[in-house]
Structure 1
């Protein structure tokens, strides 16, 4: 409990900002869903067949996995709050539409006849009779939708929209229970508070509710326009994938750019999410720079000519081919790489390795029937991952898919006895794991380098010079140590990044 309180005190500023983002995304999504679903349900009350079709459509939409929906939206509308709001509106339509339709269609026919007998117009009957009677059922649907929205909105952090999900993702990544609880408890409290407020709104009249919702919508729209108009013009957005290593690197990028380009403001989007999300965001110009690995470029992001597929390459050849194909296919600028090779590796507990005499990946094939692996989804699906292990080594083991950081907890708790990882992961040292030699050289070279939107590279030529100061620097040992300081010693990535730059004489203290 004390750890949770300490975490809150340290990060309350970030928490308040995340709360604001979460509330904005949730309420805007709810209001849009209501303005779509409620009028639509009122209109189709007299068309039962059409109503049944729409109920089926909204039901199907709600079954689409949220990550899949976000992935589909990113190429169309980019990253940030827009795809998050669209996805949340999709999920909120069913309960609001369904409850509105049921609430009005099940009104006692005698009441409808009485309203007609008094000569009420369609709109007068709607506001004076139907909506007041159906209001408790409609409000119940709105409450259900809001709770669903607030819970699902935590995934918005994966696409740079912020919110309380950033605390949950960061907590999982850093194995910090306090951060996870801070995000989860805040989200739960938010749902309870707003659910209660909506329940109390049942006492209001339909016209009062409508006016209130319009005021809220206009307010949020005005807030968004204000921030867009007053946003700094020269802002470079640097994003990073999940993990301490990208977090450290993007902080280095920020320090180097702002030091050499004082007129430029840098905004960071750490723990952004999957490689495909980030690459799409860069191509759509939603982010300007992010660190990417040469091996990942060739394996996942570009189309390698058939004649060159499967070739063994030196680190320099891998980088040059990645740079060339990124330029040709996506018109992106790939700067010079750092020294370390953060390649894939397979790891086991030291005791397990000694017991089974494991030194190489080939040695695993002798005991594969007793191996249970914890691999992340990206590794399972990659040709230089588990697919490659099956083809190159003939390795077929029982596999459990899990998030990258969870696999280390799983092997430490003996839920699995083999995990994939990266050679600079701090958990290898933290959990006393042994890495197995890739004796058939399956895993390609993975050298990290800044990947930049061409427009930004052309507009700010000094940025390239700033970031190229890291070229040929940062050894595997240094990167592993920096990851250890962030994940285990709980140092901030910004502090670790600046400490390294100072040690390498790349940071000049202000006089």
Structure 2
């Protein structure tokens, strides 16, 4: 409990921001779903056959797995809040449509006949008879949709939309139960509070209810307007992949940029997702900068038919050239350390079977049970290349990056992929086997941005180039250890390094 309270106090500012993001996404999705489903259901009450078809369609839409739906939306509308809201609207349609249709369709026919006898026009009958009678059932559907939206909105963090899911992802990545609990408890409390507020609408007259909804819409629109008016002269968005290391790096970028460019405000999107998410967001100009590794650029982001093995400098220069030619992107100067892929086992396991190289694994394939990240499993500079070069074939489970370390710690698996600067290598006493057939190319990190952004922001480029040749592998692993194990904030660790090495003025 003390750890939970301490984490809450340390993260209260970030929690408040995430809560507002979650609330904004949820309320926008709910309002759009209501505006679609309620009128459609009212119309469908006069077309029973169409109503049955619509109910089937909304039922099928709700069965689509959320991750699959987000994946399908990304190529169409990009990354961020837009696909998240669309997905949430799709999930909310069924309970709202179904309850509205049932609520109106099951009104006592004698009441309908009485309204007709009084000479009410259809619109009068709708607002004076049908909606007031059906409102408790409609509100019940909206409440169900609200709870569904708030819970599902935690997945929005996977595509850079923010919200309370950031805490859950960060907690999983760092194996920090307190962060997971903060995100989960906050989401549950938000759902309970909003559900209770919606229930209060049942006690209002239809007129007051519509006024309340109008005020809510105006408040959301006003909040968005205030945010846009309160933005500084310029805002730069810097994003990072999942994990402590990208989080540390983007905080360094933020400190350096804001120190040298006082009129610029940097917005961070940490734990944004895997490589493809970041790269697509950069191409679509939804983010401005993110740290990428030279080997990843060469092996994943550009087309390169050459199989020639290159040095660190050769890999960087070729990656820089090809990403410029093929993607019109600028790849700045790399840092000192190399963070390559590795195949890791426990030190005791390596000693037992005399493992020093990846080639040594071929003799004990029947004893191997792997757990690896999905990205590593499917990359040609990852498990695809390893299997081909070393002729290995053993069972592998796909796991979220941090969970594979938890699994090897508990002996659920005995081999996993790793990054050579991961703090868990030190924490769990793991060893990385030598890549004696050189499948893994060199990986040096550097900021990646679009050419047009670099051309317009020479001072930002100068600020980021201060990291050229800085940070050794030992220093990076130590910083990762401070964040993952000692539970220090990535922002604090980043700032400490910059100050200690004369890159940032103390107090900035």
Q: TM-score range by the shorter chain?
A: over 0.9
The 8 Å contact of residues 233 and 263 in structure 2, kept in 1 or not, is answered as: no
Deviations 1:374-397, CA, capped at 9 Å, x for gaps: 111111111122222221112111
In structure 1, the residue matched to 2:309 is: 312
Q: Is the 8 A contact 1:450 1:467 kept in 2?
A: yes
- Partners in 2 of 1:70 and 1:338 — Cα distance? 34
1:216 is aligned to 2:216: yes
Give the whole-Å Cα distance in 1 for the aligned partners of 2:29 and 2:332: 39
Q: 1:510 to 1:221 in 2, by over 3 A?
A: closer
Return the offset for 1:157: 2.0
Instruction: Measure, in 1, the Cα distance between the counterparts of 2:195 and 2:38.
Output: 18
In 2: Cα distance, 1:63 partner to 1:334 partner: 42
Shift of 1:78: 3.7
Residues 39-188 of structure 1: matches in 2 within 5 Å? 39-188=39-188
1:286-307 CA distance string (max 9 Å, x none): 2111100111112222222x3x
SS of corresponding position for 1:67: helix
Quickly say closer, same or farther: Cα 1:74–1:225, change in 2 above 3 A: farther
Q: Say yes or no: does 1:323 pair with 2:320.
A: yes
Counterparts of residues 183-262 of structure 1 (less than 5 Å)? 183-262=183-262
Cα distance in 2, alignment partners of residues 253 and 13 from structure 1: 20
Q: Which runs of 4+ in 1 moved over 4 A?
A: none
TM (normalized to structure 1)?
Answer: 0.95
Measure, in 2, the Cα distance between the counterparts of 1:13 and 1:463: 27
1:52 positional shift: 2.2
Moved more, 457-466 or 429-438: 457-466
TM-score by length of 2: 0.96
Decide which of 486, 491, 502 is 1:505's aligned counterpart.
502
What is the distance in 1 between the residues matched to 2:114 and 2:368? 74
Q: What is the rounded CA distance, in whole Å, between the counterparts of 1:317 and 1:229 in structure 2?
A: 46
Deviates more, 1:103-112 or 1:223-232: 103-112
CA distance in 1, matches of 2:431, 2:376: 19
Superposition deviation, residue 219 in structure 1: 1.5
Alpha-carbon distance in structure 2 between the residues aligned to 1:171 and 1:335: 31
The Cα RMSD (Å) is 1.8
Conserved? CA contact 1:71–1:277, under 8 Å:
no
Q: Deviations over 1:235-272 (max 9, x none)?
A: 22111111111111112112222222233222222111
Whether contact under 8 Å (2:404, 2:416) holds in the other structure is: yes
Displacement of 1:204 = 2.1
Once residues 229 and 455 of structure 1 are traced to their aligned partners in structure 2, the CA distance between those partners, rounded to angstroms, is: 25
Does structure 1 retain, via aligned residues, the 8 Å contact 2:232–2:263?
no
**Alpha-carbon separation, structure 1, partners of 2:153 and 2:507:** 41
Q: Distance in 1 between matches of 2:233 and 2:155?
A: 28
Tell me the CA shift for residue 224 of structure 1: 0.5
Which residue is 2:343 aligned to?
346
State the distance in 2 between where 1:446 and 1:249 align. Answer: 15
More deviation, 401-410/275-284: 275-284
Q: Which of 389, 400, 406 matches 1:392?
A: 389
Task: Kindly state the Cα deviation for residue 75 of structure 1 after the two structures are TM-superposed.
Answer: 4.2
Q: Secondary structure at the match of 1:489?
A: coil
Q: 2: distance between equivalents of 1:459 and 1:417?
A: 49
Question: Do the aligned partners of residues 317 and 60 (structure 1) sit closer, same or farther apart at CA in structure 2, a change above 3 Å counting?
Answer: farther
How many correspondences in the alignment? 508
**Aligned-pair distance for 1:153?**
0.9
Aligned-residue offset at 1:29 = 0.9
Change (3 A) 1:182 1:301: same
**Local SS of the residue matching 1:232:** coil
**Which deviations, in whole Å up to 9, do the C-alpha atoms of 1:419-446 show, x marking residues without a partner?**
1110100001001112111111111111
| Structure-1 separation of matches of 2:87 and 2:425 | 37
Contact 1:75 1:284 in 2 (8 A): no
Alignment check: 8 A CA contact 1:74 1:281 kept: no
Write the distance in 2 (CA, Å) between the matches of 1:311 and 1:131.
71
- The Cα of 1:454 is off from its aligned counterpart by 2.2
Deviations 1:53-89 (A, max 9, x none): 2222222322333233333434443433222212211
**CA drift at 1:26:** 0.8
In the alignment, which of 347, 355, 358 is matched to residue 352 of structure 2? 355
Please give the per-residue CA displacement for 1:154-208, whole angstroms capped at 9, x wherever unaligned: 1222233221111111111221111110110111111112112222322223332
2:439 equivalent in structure 1: 442
CA contact (8 A) 1:289 1:452 kept: yes
Q: List alignment gaps of at least 5 residues for structure 2.
A: none
Structure 1: where are the runs of 5+ without partners?
A: none
Alignment check: 8 A CA contact 2:345 2:431 kept: yes
Contact 2:237–2:269 (8 Å) recurs in 1: yes
2:281 corresponding residue in structure 1: 281
Q: CA deviation at 1:132?
A: 2.3
Structure 2 equivalent of residue 416 of structure 1: 413
